[in-house]
Amino acid sequence: MTSSEIILVKPFVSSNVNASVVGCISKYRPRLFDKCEYDYKINIEKNSMVIRSLPYPEMALWYLTLQYVCNGSANECLNASLTLMFQISSSQCTKQQCGAYGVCRILTSQQNVFSTCLCIAGYRGYGCTDSTYAYVSKSLLSVLFLTISNLMFLPAIVLAIYRRLYIEALIYFFNMFFSTFYHACDQDINKFCIFKYDGLQLSDFIGSYASFVITLITMAIVPRSIKAFLFMLGVLTCIVINSRDRFDHLQFICLISITFIFTVLTWVIVSIRYRRLQPSRKRLLLYMPGFLLALTALILFAFCETDENYWYIHSLWHIFIGSSILFFLPHKNSYKREPTTQGIRAAEPSININTDSPSIGTVNQVIALPIDNTSLSSSNTDSSKKSTDNLLN
């Protein structure tokens, strides 16, 4: 489709002659007035002017066929003179310039320059005049839903700080902040942008990807120092793949799959090594509501989201994902140091010979309490087991 074409035709006929001009605009081959489509007919009265606009004509060979019609006697028209002024011009979009709910865009494709109306707020049509699916009244409601629903990340942020998971809390806050302002900017009406739209969109995608990766790594059974390294690796990977193509869902699926497999693999290795289930059954049961919430959110995002219901389906996505994090964060006790047995020493009996006493040879004995070697060994084993549990978590 090209820009709107404007055709101007103005005939000049002798004043003493009663004649008019008719014509037809057709594509592929010329047509006479009586065989012309109604919308493409031209009827010009004597010494008048006609302007015909063709919005977005198809790319083809177009014809303009003109013929005069004598409305008086045949003798009048024999010696009459007829002059035509003919002009064709192109304009951007339509004559009305897309109305109040559209913006005219000039695009280039394969060396063809064309324009089109980009409609907003659900309006459709060549000139954005079709209000059948318009949602102007829902505009404010949609922006409120999409922004306020991000506050569901606040409980996860507070819980992460309470459990001293400061890196996780920072990533969740980053995601919440940029998702809120991205959706505030991604509106047709009532928009608010703190900086360029493209930058907000990139930051939102990076934060979303990183939140998934960081949460899965947090659930892995590896030392905290290794998790810190994996956090940085995951965030840098999210930046790279979003800079490459932020709309490639396949790369997102691959990244999440690799991270999930790594986490499950750590569970299996530690369970085999210490011959007991890790995480514990109680912990796995606690994960189940989180997995169900996350799975529901992914199904809504992948299969139910459309342009019409985006504002509330995507808001549910925010709510379910933000709520699911609460079930995945490790417990605070996992990061407390347990006392070791290095300071436990067996008391030994000692003998003091008091040489200052006037009675030579007096022996002062310090009585030591008896020590149960079996209890001490059991205490050491329990402390060692607690230290192992801390490593696993």
Q: What token pair was written down for 4?
A: 């709107």
Taking the domains of the chain in order of start, what are their residue ranges?
4-91, 93-134, 138-335
Higher pLDDT, 17 or 61: 61
3.40.720, 1.10.3470, 2.10.25, 3.10.20: CATH of 93-134: 2.10.25
The answer to whether the CB of 101 falls within 8 A of the CB of 114 is no
Neighbours of 123 (CB within 10 A): 23
pLDDT score of 315 more than 80: yes
Average pLDDT over residues 25-33: 86
367 Rama sector, left if φ>0, alpha if ψ -120 to 50, beta otherwise: beta
C-alpha distances in Å from residue 219, one per residue of 194, 212, 248, 284, 387: 34, 11, 26, 11, 18
Runs of H (alpha helix) within the chain? 74-78, 139-148, 154-162, 166-185, 197-219, 224-245, 249-274, 281-299, 310-328, 373-392
What pLDDT is stored for residue 133 in this prediction? 82
pLDDT score of 383 more than 60: no
d(CA 3, CA 253): 41
Express as a percent the part of the chain with pLDDT over 90.
44
Q: What token pair was written down for 129?
A: 């005049």
pTM (2 d.p.): 0.65
Higher pLDDT, 229 or 102: 229
What pLDDT is stored for residue 72 in this prediction? 65
pLDDT score of 358 more than 50: no
Q: What is the pLDDT of residues 72-100, one digit of tens each?
A: 666 667 766 777 777 777 777 766 678 78
First to last CA, the chain: 62
d(CA 76, CA 18): 8
Nearest alpha carbon to residue 334 among 393, 254, 249: 393
The answer to whether the CB of 328 falls within 8 A of the CB of 220 is no
What pLDDT is stored for residue 3 in this prediction? 60
Per-residue confidence at 63, pLDDT binned at 50, 70, 90?
confident
| Contact residues for 141 (Cβ-Cβ < 8 A; gap 6+) | 311
Radius of gyration for the alpha carbons in the chain, expressed in angstroms and rounded:
40
For the chain, give the mean pLDDT.
80
pLDDT score of 105 more than 70: yes
* Range with lowest mean pLDDT among 47-51, 223-227, 250-254, 311-315: 47-51
Neighbours of 235 (CB within 10 A): 19
Per-residue confidence at 15, pLDDT binned at 50, 70, 90?
low
Please give the order of strands across the beta sheet that includes 4-13.
50-54, 4-13, 82-91
Higher pLDDT, 346 or 131: 131
What pLDDT is stored for residue 181 in this prediction? 97
Higher pLDDT, 357 or 30: 30
Q: What is the pLDDT of residues 213-260, one digit of tens each?
A: 999 999 999 999 999 999 999 999 999 999 999 999 899 999 999 999
What pLDDT is stored for residue 375 in this prediction? 42
Average pLDDT over residues 297-306: 92
* Range with lowest mean pLDDT among 12-21, 96-105, 322-331: 12-21
The answer to whether the CB of 387 falls within 8 A of the CB of 334 is no
d(CA 51, CA 70): 22
Per-residue buried b or exposed e for 148-169, using 16+ beta carbons within 10 Å of the residue's own CB: ebbebbeebbebbeebebebbb
What pLDDT is stored for residue 332 in this prediction? 61
Helix (H, G, I), strand (E, B) or coil at 393: coil
* Range with lowest mean pLDDT among 124-138, 226-240, 243-257, 340-354: 340-354
1.20.1070, 1.10.150, 3.90.380, 1.10.3470: CATH of 138-335: 1.20.1070
Average pLDDT over residues 365-386: 44
